[in-house]
Structure 1
Amino acid sequence: MKIKSKLLIVGAILALIALTTMQGYLIFNTYDLRKKSYAVESRTKIGSIVKTPYVDSLSWNYRMEFVEKIPEYKNGIITKDSLLNSLEKFSSLKNDTFLDYFKKGAEYYNLDDNIQFKKIATSIQLSENGETEDLLIDGKDEPIFLLGTNFPTDEGLIINAWNWTFDKDYTNTLNQESTVDIKYRATIYMKILNWDTIIFKRLLLLFFVAFLLFLFIILLVTYSIRNLLKLKRISDIKTDFINNITHELKTPLATLSIATKTLTNKFAKDNKDIAKDSIDTINRQNKRLQNLIDQVVDNSVGYNDINLNKEQVNLSSFLKDLSEDYALTLPKHIQFIKSISDVSEEVSVDQFYFSTAIVNILNNAVKFEGSVIKITYQIENFEHIISISDNGIGISKKNKTLIFGKFFRVSEKNTHNFKGLGLGLYYCKQIINAHKGTLDVKSRKNEGSTFFIKLPLSNGKKNLISR
């Protein structure tokens, strides 16, 4: 059963990890697809804005102004840098007009404000009479910014690129007519600011539902594992109780069997002493069996089933009398310390049940190897507080929350070193609960235990009278 439980728990955890991984993978894919979809959608809108006759005319104007400067470059009047600077200058003069137009187009097409546009010249090649070539700009050079917002190229996404060719006739330095072939390549980019934030907002509902589903799965697995462990614990307690009660019943039953055989023996018929001893043995074992059954029946009831016959009692006097009587039953090697405050405050209790609870706790202190036992009583924080401490074997941290459970017995490595049915502290707890009080314990393994019984003051106010 133990191995099966561990396998089920490990299987449930692995299944949870697998489901979480799968869910994370699907969410990541959805996120990635939304990013691509958003990029395509933005490209389309930008294309609708810039691929218009008005933008084409702006581009045509600064390109033609640039072309008009090429003969000066070919004739050595201006340098290559000056020629390229002129292209940048001519385009910048048109950029403010373009940005206004782009803003209006973005509003019309509902393009996100976080999207920026950039157009650059990435390649300009000049060739004359189909022979000589002059690369003004190639892929290795810094491109020339033309229109839009000048953001770093590596931060943007490419939208489109196209080539434009034009022939320019001019008179060279030899006073000869010549033709320059211009091959011009431009590329447009877009940059999406706060991309992750935009996509996250669009997927917020999906993330929320996925989180709720993930939380539900975790709670379901946790609940299932807890139930499994609880059922296993109950099963172990039941098995332990059956084994224990069987062991407790075997001794009187075996004794009864022997006594019965002795009584029916022909030698016992003529011997009144043997017959009397056998009958006495049968009566004792019968009484033992009855007490064992009564213990199971009476001590396993809940506090709602306990019928109290309450009366006003002065706990100082009550505890002193109980302690004096109990001290007479203790072995000589056990030291019993009493520290009971004299108070006039009375409390309503059932003397029989209340004394049963205290004696059970005291018996436990002796049973679990306590050689020094101390009982104290005082009124503090509007409560009657009775504490019973010992220097016995103590209670481990894992068992402190279990000792008040029905049929629970302290064990080490599945071996019970102390007899009992595991009902004593459960019964004590029910009795104190029936009195509207609380029963708690402070303990550390091998350092003893202290049990606290707390009852509320009857009149609801502190009235401690020391004598």
Structure 2
Amino acid sequence: MKRKIRYLIWGCSLAITALAAIQSYFIYNTYILKEKEAQTAVRLELIRMETLINIDSVRNAWFVHGNALLRTQGITTAKSFFSSGAPALSRKVAQYINTNSVLHQYRTVYQVVINKVLLESPSGQTFTLTDRPWFGSGQLYGEQLVIHDLTTDNNINGGLVRNFTSRSGFAINGGGNSILREMLGLLIFSVLLLGVVILLFYLSIRSLITQKKISDMQTDFINNITHEFNTPLATLGVALSTVKDRLTGQPDPVLDNSVATIDRQQQRLRKLIGQVISHTAGPQQLRLQRELIHMPGFIAELLEDFKLSSPQTELIAELDSQIAAIKADRFHLTTAIVNILDNAVKYGGGQVIVTTVAETDTYQIAIRDNGQGITESDQSRIFEKFYRSEKGDIHNTKGLGLGLYYSEQVITAHGGKILLQSGTGQGSTFTLILPR
């Protein structure tokens, strides 16, 4: 049992780990998806901004102005012009981003870079400018996403500025935090769900360990108490035999009655101890001495004996006349059926109806009473070891809570099952189904 609990703990741990890994995988994929959605939304807003700024016109005007400066004022002035960027456009872009909810939410940085421009003065001097920021809202760091790659090549009419290429791009500096804020509800729910699963696993394992301890305690208690009881009972039996021998020929009604009372109570105590030992055995522990039993005669004989012990009960037998025989342990099967009959009388059954039906593969014995019935909450536990139906922590009838448990174990050991139909104030019907 300890090994099974250890395997269960390992299995639960692996299941929790797998569940956490699956949740992490889905959360990560959700994050990536939202990140792509954010990039798409930002890209669309920046394309709209480029349209408003009319970036193509800016490029053309810039190209023409630079070409004019190179022609009229020389390469030094043109170099300074192309290297200084466009502060006015940068301020315009920054203002647009700050006022746009999507771009501002993700702390978007936009930048246009001059990839390459070749300057050649009329005197033959050349200068190449590469990877120079042109205008934008700030410096790009980390992952840079390209919006446009633009190229202008002007070799017409003696153009001195050639191969003017630029690239517009952006980066989302605050995208991670914004996405995590959007996913906060999902993250909290996932953590809570995982916590609930861990808690349920913990409670289940703790309950199982507690039940095992209780079961071990019950088994140890039964073994110890029966052993301790048998020793003084054996001594008491020897003492009673000695007293009986001494009393032979010496009539004493009071003493004889006392000795008879002690003898009866001793026998009753022995019977109770034997009942506890046999009734607490599980179906695997029961040693069945199977024999071929002709059921109609067997049931009729059993009911005749029961009538003698319970003459106040109206016993009605509706037995199938078909000849049917099963292989079963006569002693255990008798005790199992008598336990159910005794329970019917104990719990107010003034009338008990026993019906038998011989099927092709099974033999069914239905025991119906008109007693107080069994509540729905008790029906799920009525076959548990030591369980007894009670009202307000008070047991109305005497017993050990082993009769129905033992009966179910016996029928299960025979390969059959017990069905229960009952309701408060409606009596109970126990149907024993035995394989043929």
Whichever residue aligns with residue 221 of structure 1, its letter is Y
Partner of 2:163: none
Q: Hey, what's the Cα distance between the residues in 1 that align with 2:282 and 2:56?
A: 93
Range that drifts further, 415-424 or 401-410: 401-410
- The alignment's C-alpha RMSD in Å is 5.6
Matched, 1:430 2:409: yes
Write the letter of the residue equivalent to 1:357: A
Indicate the SS of the match to 1:337: strand
Counterparts of 1:262-411 in structure 2, within 5 Å, are 272-332=252-312, 334-380=313-359, 382-411=361-390
Distance 1:227 1:397 in 2: 24
Corresponding position of 1:217: 198
TM-score, with length taken from structure 1? 0.50
Closer, same or farther: CA 274–371 of 1 in aligned 2, 3 Å: closer
Pairwise CA distance, 1:336: 1.7
Q: Distance in 1 between matches of 2:278 and 2:217?
A: 22
Aligned in 2, Cα 1:388/1:63: closer, same or farther, shift over 3 Å?
A: farther
**Amino acid of the structure 2 residue aligned with 1:439:** I
Identity of aligned residues (%): 30
Do the aligned residues in 1 keep the contact of 2:371 with 2:427 (CA within 8 Å)? yes
* Structure 1 residue runs without a partner (length 5+): 1-23, 66-119, 125-138, 144-151, 163-184, 264-269, 458-467
Distance 1:287 1:160, change over 3 A: closer
Q: 1:168-179, aligned counterparts within 5 Å?
A: none
Looking at structure 2, the residues matched to 30 and 210 of structure 1 have their Cα atoms a distance apart, in angstroms, of 17
Q: Judging changes above 3 Å, is the alpha-carbon distance between structure 1 residues 232 and 374 closer, same or farther for their aligned structure 2 residues?
A: farther
CA distance in 1, matches of 2:171, 2:376: 60
- How many residue pairs get aligned? The number is 301
Structure 1 residues 190 and 400, CA gap change in structure 2 (3 angstroms): farther
Cα displacement string for residues 56-99 of structure 1 (whole angstroms, at most 9, x for unaligned residues): 7763327899xxxxxxxxxxxxxxxxxxxxxxxxxxxxxxxxxx
Letter in 2 for 1:354: L
Inter-partner Cα distance in structure 2 for 1:369 and 1:274: 37
Aligned-pair CA distance for 1:351: 1.9
Within-5 A mapping of 1:53-202: 59-61=58-60, 154-157=101-104, 159-160=108-109
Distance 1:390 1:234 in 2: 32
- Pairing of 1:6-85 with structure 2 (within 5 A): 59-61=58-60
Q: CA deviation at 1:390?
A: 1.1
Distance across 2 between alignment mates of 1:227 and 1:442: 29
Counterpart residue identity of residue 351, structure 2: V
- Give the superposition deviation at 1:237: 7.9
Q: Quick one: distance in 2 between partners of 1:339 and 1:378?
A: 9
Distance 1:277 1:330, change over 3 A: closer
**Ranges in structure 2 where 5+ consecutive residues have no aligned partner:** 1-22, 65-88, 112-134, 139-168, 244-249
- The Cα offsets for residues 429-450 of structure 1, whole Å up to 9 and x where unpaired, read as 2221221211232222222111
Q: Is the 8 A contact 1:155 1:191 kept in 2?
A: no
What is the CA distance between 1:382 and its match in structure 2? 2.7
Paired residues of 1:241 and 1:421 also in contact (CA < 8 A):
no
**Is 2:339–2:407's contact at 8 Å kept on the other side of the alignment?**
yes
The reply to whether residue 445 of structure 1 matches residue 424 of structure 2 is: yes
Please state whether the residue corresponding to 1:305 is helix, strand or coil: coil
User: Quick check: 2:110–2:171 contact (8 Å CA) kept in 1?
Assistant: no
Work out the CA distance in 2 between the residues paired with 1:292 and 1:305.
19
8 Å contact 1:156–1:191 — kept in the other structure?
Answer: no
Q: State the Cα deviation string for residues 39-70 of structure 1 (Å, max 9, x = none).
A: 699989x99xx99xxx97763327899xxxxx
Separation of aligned partners in 1, 2:277 and 2:405: 13
Q: TM-score, normalised by structure 2?
A: 0.53
CA deviation map 1:318-344 (0-9, x unaligned): 212222332233233x32221111112
Q: Which amino acid aligns with 1:408?
A: Y
